[in-house]
Chains A and B, each alone.
Chain A
Amino acid sequence: MTAHLSNGARPGRRRISRRVLVPLTVASALVGTVALAGCGQSRDPDVYTVLNSSTDDSYHSWDAATLERCGKQLGVTIQQQSVPANQVMTKSLRMASSKSLPDIIQFDGSEMPTFAETGGLKDLRKLGVDTTDVPQGIIDYGSYKGTYYGAARTVNTLALFYNKDILDKAGLQVPTTWAEMRETAKKLTQGHQYGVALSAGGSEDGVYQFTPFMWSNGGDETALDSRNVVEALDYWKSLISDGSLSKSTINWTQADVNDQFMAGNAAMMINGPWQVETLNTKKNLHWGIAQIPVPQAGDDSVGPLGGGELTIPDIGDPVREKTSAKIVNCMTSEQEEVTYALNSWMIPANQKAAATWRQKVPSLSSLADQVAVARSRTAKAGSGWTSISLALQSAFQSALTGQSSESALKHAQSRVESGK
C-alpha cells in the first residue's frame, strides 16, 4: 500500500477504487444470497426427518428398522440424523435459527424443558399423540409446566449391580440399606478389587448417580444445603474414606464404572440397564441386579427417571406436524416399544408393553418396579436444572476431594441462587 501511494497515482487510485466497489458489492451480495438461500430449505412432502443421538451402531440400526416399519405403515420415508447426545440441543437450536428444524427431535428428558421453554415445541396431546396406558409418572416426565411435550418410548433408572460369584464366595447378602452397603463394600475390598464403583464425574452422569442417594434420604434439588442432601454426600465420602470406593470415581463416567465392574475391579456398582448389552458380552461374568440401598430399612428407594423423549418442534406446518404425531404414535406403539426395549434393555413406557416385557426378561423386573416410583430430575427445577446440576457436580467433587460436604453444598446453593 505504502509503495503504491508514493507513485503519486492518487487520482487514478481513487477512480479505480470506485470501480472496484462494484464487483466487491456484487460478490458480497452473491455470498449473502447463497447464505440466505441456505436458510429457507423447502421440505419434501413425503420425507420426514428424526434427529436423535443414536450414533452408536446398534442403536442406529434399531432405530432405522423402527422408522422403516413406521414409514411403510404411513406411506412416507423417515430419515434419521444422529448426533452425539450432548450436541442434540445445540444442533436443534442452530436448526431453529436457520428455519430447518427436523420433524421430530429426540431429547434427553433433562434437556426437554430447556427447549420447551423457548416455545419451540408442540403440545403432543393437541396433535393427537396417544397417551392411553402411559403411567402418570412418565407423562409428568415428558411434561413441562403442565403441557405434554415429550413421548418416551422407553425409560430407565439406576440400580445396584453385583457380581454374584464374588458375593457368594464371601458369603455375603445383597445389601439393602446404606449401613449394609457400607459394611459389604468394606468386606469386599481387597487387593485391586474395590467394594463398589459409582460415577461421581463432573458431568450429568455424576449428578444422575447422586440423585437416588439424595432423594431416598428425603433431600431435594431445591435446597442443596439441606441436612438430607449433606447426609447423602457424607455417605459417599464415607465409602471413599473406608477405601471401598476408588478416588478415581470423580473422573469416571457411567461407562467407565461399567468397565471397572467388568474388569473385576469392583464387586458392586451403581449403573443403568443400558449397560446390560455390554455386560452380557463377558460370558463368565455372573451379575445380579437389585434396588439401590436406602438410608434405613423400610425407606423408599427413589431413583431418577431417564431416557429419550420424542418431541415435535414447531415448524409452522400443521399438516406435517399431524403426520409427525402419527409417526410418534407408531414409534410408541406397544409392539415397537417392546422391540426397542428388548434390544436396548430399557423399560417400555407403555404399561401394557411393560407387562409383556417383564414376562420376557424376568431378571430385570426389579428395574421395572423401580421405574414405577422413579422421579424426574426436571419436575421441580424445570429449565433451571442445568445450573443446579453444574453447581451440584462442583459441590460433590469438592467434597470428595477434601472439603466438608456442608460448606461445598452451601456454596453450591448460593451459586444456584445468584444465577437466578
Chain B
Amino acid sequence: MSITAAAPAATADGITTAAVAPDPARARRRRTLAQWGFVAPAVLFMLLFFGYPLVRNVVMSFQHYTPSTFFTGKAPFNGLDNWRNVFGDDLFGKALWQTIVFTIGSLVGQFCIGLGLAVFFNRRFPLNGVLRALILLPWLVPMVVSGIVWRRILDQDTGVLNSFLGLFGIGHTPWLTSTHMALLAVILVNVWIGIPFNMVILYGGLQEVPREVYEAASLDGASAWRTFRSVTLPLLKPVITVVLVLGFMSTVKILDLVLALTDGGPADSTQTLGTLTYQNSFVQLDFGAGAVVGNILILISAVFAVFYLRANRNEGK
C-alpha cells in the first residue's frame, strides 16, 4: 500500500541522493528491490483475486444487476434498494437464525467429540494408529458425496438409519422431511464430517504437551478431570483457538452440504445465508440481492478473523 503513497514524495530527493550516494546505498537499494520483488507476486495475487472481487461484490450490492447487465454492461446504481429488499424478506431473518443455530450446533458437536477422541487416542494402546486413520475417512469423502449418501441413509421410508432404529421400536423418524427435524439432521451430518479435522488438530496439540507436566500433576495427586482442566486445556488453548476459528469460517458459509441434503427445504427450514446467496444469484438471477447476502457473510467472517488475529497477537506477547 505504501508504494503509491510514497511515490510522489520520492521524486525530488530521490535522484539527487542517487547521484551522490556511494556504494552502500546502492547495495541497500538492491536489497530492498529484491525484498519487494518477493512481496510483489503475493500483493498482486491478493489484489487480483481477493481485493478486486471483494470490492466488486460490495459495489454490486448497490446496483440493479440483472441478466441484461451481461449484455449491456450497464448496472444502474439503485442505492439501498437491494439491502432494503433483502432485509424486508422474512426469508433473510429465517436464514440468518438458521445459520447461527447451524454454526453453533456444528461447532459444539464437532469440537466436543473431536476433543474427546483426541484425548482418547493420546493414550497408547494397540491398533491406535489404524483406528485413527479410519476416523479420518469422512474428511476424505467429498462434501457432495457425503451429502448424497446421507440423504439416502436418512430417508424416512427406505433409509438405513430408520430401519436400524426400527429394531429398537423407534418409529419412522422424519429426519429430512419435517421442518422441525431437518436442520438438526443437517447439523448431525456436518458434525460427522467435521470430527476428523477437529480430532487431528487437537491430537497434534496434545502431542506437544510435555509428558513431564502430566507426571508432575499425577505426583501432586491431581484427578484425571483436574489434570484435564488445569493442565491439558490451558496448554491446548492456542490450538483450540485455531480449530474453532477455522471451523467457524468453514461452517458459517455452508452451501454444498445443504444443497445435496435438502436443497434448503423442506419449506426453507434448512435455508442458510450461503444457500440464500446461491438462490438469489443463480436461481433468481438477482445478483444485487445475492451480493448483499454475500457481503453480510463476508462481514461475519471478517469479524471473527479479527478476533483470531487478536488472539494470535496476544499469544505472541
Contact = CB atoms under 8 A, between A and B. Distances in A.
A394 B6 CA distance: 56
Interface in A98-147: 114-115, 117-120
Nearest to A313: B71
A282 interface: no
Given A202-B264, A401-B266, A20 B3 contact: yes
B11 interface: yes
B40 interface: yes
Nearest to B264: A202
Contacts of B70: 93-94, 96-97, 118, 120
Given A118-B71, A246-B156, A401 B179 contact: yes
Contacts of B283: 386, 390
A4 B10 contact: no
Interface residues of A, number: 55
Tell me if B's interface is mostly helix, strand, loop or mixed. Answer: helix
Given A24-B40, A96-B70, A202 B265 contact: yes
Contacts of B263: 201-203
A13 to B, nearest CB: 6
Q: Which of A27, A96, A120, A251 has the most CB of B within 10 A?
A: A251
A27 B44 contact: yes
A139 to B, nearest CB: 24
Tell me if A's interface is mostly helix, strand, loop or mixed. Answer: helix
Contacts, number: 149
A27 B66 CA distance: 33
Contacts of B35: 4
A123 B262 CA distance: 40
A169 interface: no
Interface in A1-18: 4, 9, 11-18
A28 interface: yes
A398 interface: yes
Interface in A375-420: 386-387, 390, 393-394, 397-398, 400-403, 415, 418
A24 B88 CA distance: 45
A244 to B, nearest CB: 13
A418 B89 CA distance: 9
10 contacts: A12-B32, A20-B33, A31-B44, A89-B67, A90-B285, A119-B68, A248-B177, A251-B265, A387-B284, A394-B268
Contacts of A15: 10, 14, 17-18, 29
Interface residues of B, number: 53
A23 interface: yes
Contact of A397 (B3, B44, B266): B266
B141 interface: no
Contact of A251 (B18, B33, B48, B151): B151
A21 interface: yes
Given A12-B17, A248-B156, A265-B157, 14 more contacts: A15-B10, A17-B10, A18-B10, A89-B67, A90-B285, A96-B71, A118-B68, A118-B71, A120-B71, A247-B177, A263-B158, A265-B158, A394-B268, A397-B266
B62 to A, nearest CB: 19
Contacts of B158: 192, 263, 265
In the complex, the 10 A-B pairs of residues with the closest C-beta atoms, listed nearest first:
A202-B265, A397-B267, A14-B10, A398-B267, A15-B14, A97-B70, A118-B68, A93-B70, A96-B70, A16-B32
Interface in B11-40: 11, 13-14, 17-18, 25, 28-29, 32-33, 35-37, 40
A4 B109 CA distance: 45
Contact of B157 (A19, A21, A97, A248): A248
Interface in B173-202: 174, 176-179
A117 B48 CA distance: 33
Contact of B14 (A14, A118, A402): A14
A398 B269 CA distance: 9
A267 to B, nearest CB: 14
Contacts of A13: 6, 32
B55 interface: no
Contact of B285 (A16, A89, A247): A89
A328 interface: no
A158 B32 CA distance: 71
A161 to B, nearest CB: 19
Contacts of A96: 70-71
